[in-house]
Every structure is written in C-alpha cells, then in structure tokens.
Structure 1
Amino acid sequence: MTSLEELFPSEEQIPAGVRLPAYVEQREYLVGGELRMWGGDLNPVRSPVFVKTARGVEQKVIGATPLLTSQESLEALSAAVKAYDHGRGAWPSMRVAERIEHVERFLVAMRAQRTAVVNLLMWEIGKTQGDSEKEFDRTIDLIVETIRALKELDRTSSRFVQEQGIMAQIRRAPIGVALCMGPYNYPLNETFSTLFPALLMGNAVIFKPAKFGVLLIRPLLEAFRDCFPPGVINIIYGRGRETVGALMESGQVDLFAFIGTNKGASELKRMHPRPHRLKSVLGLDAKNPAIILDDADLDNTVKECITGTLSFNGQRCTALKVLLVHRKVVKPFLERFSAAVDKLKPGMPWTPGVALTPLPEPGKTDYLRGLVDDAVSKGAKVVNELGGKVNQSFFFPAVVYPVTRDMRLATEEQFGPVIPVMVFDEDEEAVRYVVESQFGQQLSLFGQDSARIGKFIDAFANQVGRINLNCQCQRGPDTFPFNGRKDSAEGTLSVADALRVFSIRTLVAAKTTKDNTTLVQSILTRRESDFLTTDFLF
C-alpha cells in the first residue's frame, strides 16, 4: 500500500498522458449564442491534488473561472427569455426531429473532447481515471437513450384518441425557461441528465456549473455555441447567491432543476416571487442505510457495502451513509469489513487500481475529523487500523462503532469516507430508524429469509424511493425512476421521466362531427401545423 506520507507526487512523477496544459485562465461564458469575454475577477480552481516542490507540498492551482455578477446572469436570462419568446421562438416551435438533429451534432463535438474532459474530472474533483471515463461515456449513453425515449414518446403522441364524442391529440410541449444546476460529484452526468431533456423538449436553458468541476465544461463551450440557436443554452459562472439569486428573484425562471442540499434548494425557491409558476425537480440529501440481518451472506454483504460506502470516497448521494448491523453478526462483519477497508489502495486519480483519492472540498478533512471526534467523545471507536489518517486533502476511511442516536454520525449526511456502524437487536429498531429519518432516498437490505425480507419491504415501501435487496444503493440503470421522499427529492428522474418533467401535456380537441373531421384531416394531410401532426420518428 502507498504510504500516506508519500501519497502526493512531484511534477516529474505525473504521467504525461494525464498532465494538464498550462494554467487555464478561463474568461469565456456563453450568452445569446456568443462567447463573451469577462474582464472582472476570477475564481481560482484548486485541485485536490497536492504536488511536491522544493518549497514542500503545495496544492495545485490549475486555472480560474469567471466570477460573474447578477448583471451577467440577468443578461443570460434575457437571452433565454428572448429565445423562448413565450413559446413562439424558433426552438420551442421546432419539430422534434430538428431538435434531435441539433443534439446529435453536439454529441459528435462532445465525443471529440473526451480526453480533455476526463483529465479535468480527475484534476478538479479527484475522481479516478476509470470512473471519470465511465462518467463521460455514461453521459453520452444517457443522451443517446434520452433521444431514443423521445422518439418513442413522439410515436405514442402521434395518434388520436376518441372519448365521449371528442377526438383529441395529446402531445407534450415545453414550459419555458429552465435553470439547471448540477452537483460537484457528478458535474457532467447528473447535470446533463436534466439539461438535455430540458433542451430536447423545447425549453430555453440557463446552466450554471457546480462549485467544483467547473473547468471541465470549458472544452464544450464552443460545441454548445455552434450546435444550438442563440439563447437556447446559456452558461454562466460565479457565486450562486449572487448569480442564481438574481435569476430566481426575477420570477422569469419557469423550471428549476437542482441537485444539491435541501437547504440550498429551499433558499432558492423562496426567492421566486411566483412559486406556483415554478416547476421543480430536485435531487437532495440522503442518509441511505444498509440493514444487515443476522442471516446475511457476509461475503456478499461486505463486498457490496465496501463499494456502497466508499465508491468515489463516499461522495455520492446514493452512497450507503450508515450501516445497521444485527448484533449476532456485528463482530464478524466488522472484522471483515474493516480489513477490506484497510486494503483499499490510496493514490492519485490516475494511479492504476486506486480506490481512494483526495477530496475536493476545502476543509472537508476537518469536517470529517469533527464527526469522528464527536462519536469518539460519546463512546464510539475507530475500529480499522488506518481509519481517520489525514494528509492534506486526503482522509483515509474511518469505520466508527458503535454509533448511537445521540451522535452526529447517526443522522448527519457525512458525504465522505466515514462509515458509521450501528447495532440493533430487534427488526423494529431498524424499521424505526428509517421511519424517523428526515431523508428517504434509498436503502439496502441484506438477508435471506423471504418472509422476513417481505415484511421489511412492506415496512419501507412508503419510506424510500428504492429498496435494494442484497446490493448497494445506486441510481442506474438510467431507465429506472430515480426519486426520493421527505427531504431527499422532489419529482422523479429517469430517461423517460425527465422528458415529462420538462414538458406539459397539451391537447388539440374537437367534437367528432363531419366538419371537424374534415378540418383536422385537411390540416394533417397538408401538413399545415407543426404541432398537430401524425408524422412520427423512427
């Protein structure tokens, strides 16, 4: 195993294939179809990677991005409003096939930037090379699958229905101006999972990248500019409170797609002067538990819980954030699990076989240490040998046991490599933990007794959005619904659901009379309407 003291490389030790070009001072931002140049202050982009120098270990600063103000964000809003033009703009009025052609041109341009984006994912957020490549490729696949789902939706919508003497065609239409904001842990995939459905359904979009993983959008700016009509997609940078706050206060944002904390989402939604006009789809906090019964297959359970708790250092909303283990198996589980954690390989994102990497959030190691110290002060212990060891931005995963309800780790989402383990004796204790939690995204259930598992399923079906049997929590496949209850989400995302989220059903209806039938047939055969049509996509 790499010594934590020797974790960070010198410049000479960084492989040539993953080295970034010189310091990137980005001043471009996209508004109204043009790349504008920002002459004001910049926000430095600090990598979680530190580098050995003659002066000691220093944090790598890889570039800077524009610190725009409310003025620039409102100019982006004006461009989006103009492009949408009350639903009469070229983009919302465009046939579905034409919008798909624009997105397919973007995909071609995006594929050409794979290496640049993957390298920036590694350097900006510390994601391993394999996971960075997977995120890029999965994002491409997601957009392709979204196009396929839109074609299917278009085919379904092309038919007419007749009910009670009324004939109608029901199609989906755009809603207006969408504000899309993604998370730093999946700054490409989860952001694009809302951005492209919004675009494909005919909305105009303002996109603000996450607080980390910002520079990686730069290689795609020209593609966004060249592949979409002016104002259809606008990309801004800066501090959210100033830029996004101004957008919400304007009352001209119709759709709000946000993946982050429930506190942040609530604050932004409260700024909108007409909340009844704001449609929101939100992916928020989670404290997903794994419930490990006394008859669980421990080999499989340990394997799934290692991945579930520590994939990308536990920085996933779908990560397992607390393990509830039956007292009868807590000792053998902890022995196997702790040993498996200590065998994980730490290193730089590009290191072959690396499992643990530095954390991108400033002050994160201090925050995690505070959670561990709180638990230890109340009777818990760090049970794995290397747990909690720190080197600059790196925090070795800490397995903490026994965690009790009075500890912060029992309820607070750590979003990082600290694994709280709680013990239970009666099944109702585990059920009560889930019921009383403020979060309700997912949970994992490990056990083999079908009758017992069935009772747990019934107890949890109205508590969380997804119950995973003998496997970790996860979002995919992208065709599955992704949602949550309580403070964990608002709305549902999946390839098909996202298209519905960013649109509204609109119908053309008429009484089934001879004259009306002739009228509708004339419109259809002469192709006199882009909306009322029986044409469909293959």
Structure 2
Amino acid sequence: MIGVFPEVSGRILINGDWKKVSKTKKVINPAKIEEVVGEVALCSTQDVDDAIKAASDVFKSWSRTSVEERADRMRQASEKLSPLVEENVSLLVRENGKTLVESKKDLLRCIQVMNQMADTLIEWWKPVDLSGALQSVQIRRRARGVTAVISPWNSPLILTFKRVIPAVLAGNTVVIKPATNCPLTVLTFLKAVASSFPPGVINIVTGSGAMIGEVLCSDPRVKAICFTGSTDTGKTIMRQAASTVKKLYMELGGNDPALILPDAALDRTDIERIRGGVLRASGQVCSAIKRIYVHESRYVEFVDKLKSGFERVVVGNGIHPDTTMGPLNNKGQFDYVKGLVERTKQSGAQVAELGQKLNSDSWEEGYFMNPSIVTNISHDSELVHAEQFGPVIPVIPYTELSQAIEMANDTQYGLRASVWTSDERKAAEIADYLEAGAVFHNNHTIFKDLRLDFPGIKESGFSKETQWGSLELFTDSYGFAN
C-alpha cells in the first residue's frame, strides 16, 4: 500500500538544493510492512563528494560569523519547527514504529536542544582566563571544519539533532547521513532548520552506509566524525578515519545492568521505571536496561512484580493511542531478536512472553513481539552478554553485592547502569565501582537537561563529560598568551 509521500521523499540536500536522485529505496511501516511510507535516495559517491565540497566551501565564512548571529539563526529555526511537530508525529510513528507518545517526545526534544544550546553558546564561547603572576593566558576556541554526523534508526531525530545543532552553533558545517530505515522525519525537520542557515552549512546524503561512511572517513576535508550506532561499525569508522587523524565522537553499543539491592522499595514507581528502562522504544535503545541482577532475598517478589508490569503492556501499531509498545523497526533486528529468544529457550532458560496484543488479526502484518522476561538463566549465557536491542530481559539472582558488581562489569560495554536501593549514599558508593559512563539511582533514563553529555567507556564509545553539553566536542581549543 502506498500513500502520499512527504516532500523530502527520495531527495538529498546539497548546497541548499534538494536534489532528486535516480536510485531510491522504499521506506516501509514496521507495523504494517506492506505500507510504503516514502522513499530514501541512494546517492552516489559523487553526491557525497559534492556535499563535502559544499560544506568545505562555506566553512570559512560561516565559522567567522558571530556567536550572536549563529544563536539567533538557531532560535529562528526552532520557531519554524514548532508548528511541524503535530503534523509529523504520525510520520515518525509510521517509519520508525515508536508510539505516539514516544515520537512526540523525540520531536519536542529536538526543539529543546536547539533553544538550550543557543542560549548556552554565548557564555560558553567566551575565552577562559588561566592567567597567573608570570603570564597572561587564555583558552580560546575555534570551529574544526566540516563535520560528518552519522545517525541511527532507533532514535533518529534526537540523536541527529544532539550532534548537528551544537556542531553548527560552534561554527562548523555538516554533512549528515541519516539511517535508511527511517530518514523521512529527520529530512523533514532538517529541511526547516537548513532554511535558516546559508546554503552549504547543512547538507544531507542518504544511501549505503558502507559507501558513504568510507567516503566521509577518508576525505581530508572532513575534520570530525560523529557516529551513533553499533560498536562493530564504530571500530570500522575509527580505522577508516585514522589515515587523516580525524576527531571522533563515538556513541556505541551498550549492555546496561540494573542492580536491585535487598532494601529496594520495589513499589509501583520502581517497577514502572524499570519496565520503562527495559521497554522504551521496544528495547531498541543503546542505554536501555539489558540485564537485571536481583538479591536472592527479593528475587521471587521482583520477578512477580515485573511480570505484572509487563502484562499491562499493549503491543501494537504505534499510531493507535492505546498502544504502549510498538513493533521492532526492521526485519534484520526482528529476526535477530526472535532468533536470540529461540536459542535462549533451547538452552533451558524459562522465557515468559507477556503483554497484550492490541490486534491479533494484524499481528503478522508487522514486526511485533511480546515483551519477555527470562529466568533460570546463567550469567554466561548469550542473552546476558549480547546487546539484544529488543523487548526481552534476563533476570539473575545474586547473593553478595561484590558478586553483582563483578557480573555487572563483566562486559565489553560501559554505557549506563542503575542501582536500586533506599540508601542514596550506598548507591553512590556502588557507582564508584560500576564501569559505566553514567549511573542512575532508582531510575534508568536520560538526563533531563539535554545539554549534559556523559559518554560511555570501554567499547561503548568515548568523548568527554561537560557541563556545556556537546559544544565542547565540536571545537578545537587553543592557548593565547602574552
């Protein structure tokens, strides 16, 4: 089934021109795979080169504009986006699979990032005085140059905007490569944003990730790469970017543990937060809870309560207001998670498939899965050590806290973790021993202030922590002394 396509369907943006290309690929609705939502352009290597050239040509003039002008343009762009939220929520639902509530939050957060970063820019750009008795010294900042932003399909809007917005505000020009599975809302929003900036400041190419990534990583005109996605792909980008020593920002995979201590409240609020930490976006979140370690004294109680919470989940087409969990985004991810669950069952673990089907008759029309809780599973199992990226969670008992911490750290990942206890001081002490970029107490969520940026460690990526958000990632600092 084919509906009315959005204006950006099958197009890329180069130097202000929304170019139509000859080769395209269908973008389908994961809740109804026969429905074509639009098309994504499959650009050529020449298209990517043209985008880099456009960004490179305008960089000198754009980087020399005042911070006040850059901030003003960003605020103007945010005003253009506000009216687009309501009319594009359904587009994001149809191409991504998220629920209406989740999708609207993502769109609104994009506007929030734009305004927060614009407000922060002026103060942040001021020189930092490091003068001493012997010498006057300042830290000053300058834009890096052409910045490539490669964004994922799971949270396409916010994970694109959290990189593009600070990059542009800091005086860089960008070449953006959205995911081919759900690029349409990203393109629609960025079309409005790009119109507030000179041609060439924002360019967008779509198509083969391998081809586009290699061109962006090998071109000496590209000075920085921002990538959000799998660890394996991140390693490939690091190798390709090494020849020109590019600056890299890597937000990669995760296998986040949640530790439930004996004194955890496990009240309705706790259970709802844990359920949300597991099932947000159908579990397709790098920082979702992916394994839970529960003290043996609370294990049975916890599993029973979490099962009750999962039973209230309504799985269906995200466009329906009663749906609380949508489908998985694409066939590859759907097949992987289904296979992982099947192998887990064959290993002897107990898999409880829970939740309610919104519509049994249309269940086979999309990539739907019931949320599952897995018990009687070994810490050494595939599910526990994989980044499942789906609505299935292993729950493992422990006896001693030291054992739980050891198991939590027994992974190549180090993105997020959470500690559930009534003792905040105890949670802070445990956080010192957990190998994660951020640790939450009695929650497993995002930072409410979207400027805050806490990177992962180990194979979950790298950058740096900063009160100024991602702005620090997109400039080179230098010392000025006299």
What's the TM-score bracket when you normalise by the shorter of the two chains?
over 0.9
Write the deviation string for residues 91-145 of structure 1: whole angstroms up to 9, x where unpaired: 0111111112222222222223223432211111111112211111111011101
- In structure 2, the residue corresponding to 1:306 is in which secondary structure? helix
- In structure 2, the residue corresponding to 1:254 is in which secondary structure? strand
Picking from 29, 34, 56, the partner of 1:47 is 29
User: What CA RMSD, in Å, does the superposition of the two structures yield over aligned residues?
Assistant: 2.4
Q: Work out the CA distance in 2 between the residues paired with 1:466 and 1:406.
A: 24
Q: Work out the CA distance in 2 between the residues paired with 1:492 and 1:69.
A: 34
Q: What is the aligned partner in structure 2 of residue 113 from structure 1?
A: 84
Distance apart, 1:252 and its partner CA: 2.5
Write the deviation string for residues 214-249 of structure 1: whole angstroms up to 9, x where unpaired: 011332454344322222111111111112211212
Moved more, 283-292 or 337-346: 337-346
Note if contact 2:99-2:326 (Cα within 8 Å) is conserved in structure 1.
yes
Change (3 A) 1:115 1:495: farther
Matches within 5 A, 1:34-73: 34-38=17-21, 40-50=22-32, 59-73=34-48
Change (3 A) 1:457 1:363: closer
Matches within 5 A, 1:304-383: 304-383=273-352
Write the deviation string for residues 461-495 of structure 1: whole angstroms up to 9, x where unpaired: xx112121122243433233321110112103667
Distance apart, 1:48 and its partner CA: 0.7
Write the deviation string for residues 50-87 of structure 1: whole angstroms up to 9, x where unpaired: 1xxxxxxx621111111001111011111112222xxx
Note if contact 1:24-1:64 (Cα within 8 Å) is conserved in structure 2.
no
- 1:394 is the counterpart of 2:368: yes
Q: Work out the CA distance in 2 between the residues paired with 1:126 and 1:313.
A: 9
Distance apart, 1:507 and its partner CA: 4.0
- In structure 2, the residue corresponding to 1:281 is in which secondary structure? strand
Distance apart, 1:210 and its partner CA: 2.0
Note if contact 1:23-1:61 (Cα within 8 Å) is conserved in structure 2.
no
Distance apart, 1:254 and its partner CA: 0.9
Q: Work out the CA distance in 1 between the residues paired with 2:203 and 2:354.
A: 49
Q: Work out the CA distance in 1 between the residues paired with 2:356 and 2:314.
A: 13
Q: Work out the CA distance in 2 between the residues paired with 1:129 and 1:387.
A: 18
Counterpart AA for 1:34? D
Q: What is the aligned partner in structure 2 of residue 492 from structure 1?
A: 464
Write the deviation string for residues 194-227 of structure 1: whole angstroms up to 9, x where unpaired: 1011111111110111233201133245434432
TM-score by length of 1: 0.83
Distance apart, 1:331 and its partner CA: 1.0
Q: What is the aligned partner in structure 2 of residue 284 from structure 1?
A: 252
Q: What is the aligned partner in structure 1 of residue 444 from structure 2?
A: 472
Write the deviation string for residues 500-537 of structure 1: whole angstroms up to 9, x where unpaired: 11012234432xxxxxxxxxxxxxxxxxxxxxxxxxxx
Q: Which blocks of at least 5 consecutive residues in structure 1 are unaligned?
A: 1-10, 12-18, 51-57, 511-538
- In structure 1, the residue corresponding to 2:195 is in which secondary structure? helix
Distance apart, 1:499 and its partner CA: 0.9
Q: Work out the CA distance in 1 between the residues paired with 2:465 and 2:23.
A: 36
Distance apart, 1:430 and its partner CA: 0.8
Picking from 26, 50, 60, the partner of 1:75 is 50
Q: Work out the CA distance in 1 between the residues paired with 2:119 and 2:5.
A: 40
Moved more, 380-389 or 415-424: 380-389
Change (3 A) 1:494 1:110: farther
Note if contact 2:78-2:193 (Cα within 8 Å) is conserved in structure 1.
no
Note if contact 2:98-2:325 (Cα within 8 Å) is conserved in structure 1.
no
Change (3 A) 1:493 1:62: farther
Q: Work out the CA distance in 2 between the residues paired with 1:457 and 1:160.
A: 33
TM-score by length of 2: 0.92
Counterpart AA for 2:16? G
Percent of paired sites with the same residue: 27
Write the deviation string for residues 151-203 of structure 1: whole angstroms up to 9, x where unpaired: 2213x42x766434433443211011100112212211111101011111111
Q: Work out the CA distance in 2 between the residues paired with 1:225 and 1:297.
A: 48
Change (3 A) 1:321 1:475: farther
Question: Alignment length, in residue pairs?
Answer: 476
Moved more, 488-497 or 102-111: 488-497
Note if contact 1:304-1:472 (Cα within 8 Å) is conserved in structure 2.
yes
- In structure 2, the residue corresponding to 1:506 is in which secondary structure? strand
Matches within 5 A, 1:119-268: 119-154=90-125, 156-157=126-127, 162-220=131-189, 222-268=191-237
Note if contact 1:127-1:349 (Cα within 8 Å) is conserved in structure 2.
yes
Note if contact 1:250-1:273 (Cα within 8 Å) is conserved in structure 2.
no
Q: Work out the CA distance in 2 between the residues paired with 1:422 and 1:399.
A: 11
- 1:433 is the counterpart of 2:407: yes
- 1:482 is the counterpart of 2:454: yes
Counterpart AA for 1:43? K
Note if contact 1:387-1:399 (Cα within 8 Å) is conserved in structure 2.
no
Change (3 A) 1:218 1:441: closer
- In structure 2, the residue corresponding to 1:409 is in which secondary structure? helix
Distance apart, 1:418 and its partner CA: 0.7
- In structure 2, the residue corresponding to 1:241 is in which secondary structure? helix
Note if contact 1:117-1:217 (Cα within 8 Å) is conserved in structure 2.
no
- 1:101 is the counterpart of 2:72: yes
Q: Work out the CA distance in 2 between the residues paired with 1:453 and 1:230.
A: 50
Q: Work out the CA distance in 1 between the residues paired with 2:5 and 2:16.
A: 28
Note if contact 2:315-2:355 (Cα within 8 Å) is conserved in structure 1.
no
- In structure 2, the residue corresponding to 1:436 is in which secondary structure? coil
Counterpart AA for 1:350? I
Change (3 A) 1:424 1:161: closer
* Structure ID, larger Rg: 1
Distance apart, 1:381 and its partner CA: 0.7
Q: Work out the CA distance in 1 between the residues paired with 2:47 and 2:92.
A: 26
- 1:456 is the counterpart of 2:427: no
Write the deviation string for residues 273-311 of structure 1: whole angstroms up to 9, x where unpaired: 535x31111111111111112221121432221111112
Distance apart, 1:23 and its partner CA: 7.5
Q: Work out the CA distance in 1 between the residues paired with 2:326 and 2:79.
A: 31
Q: Work out the CA distance in 2 between the residues paired with 1:135 and 1:118.
A: 9
- In structure 2, the residue corresponding to 1:179 is in which secondary structure? strand
Q: Work out the CA distance in 1 between the residues paired with 2:443 and 2:30.
A: 30
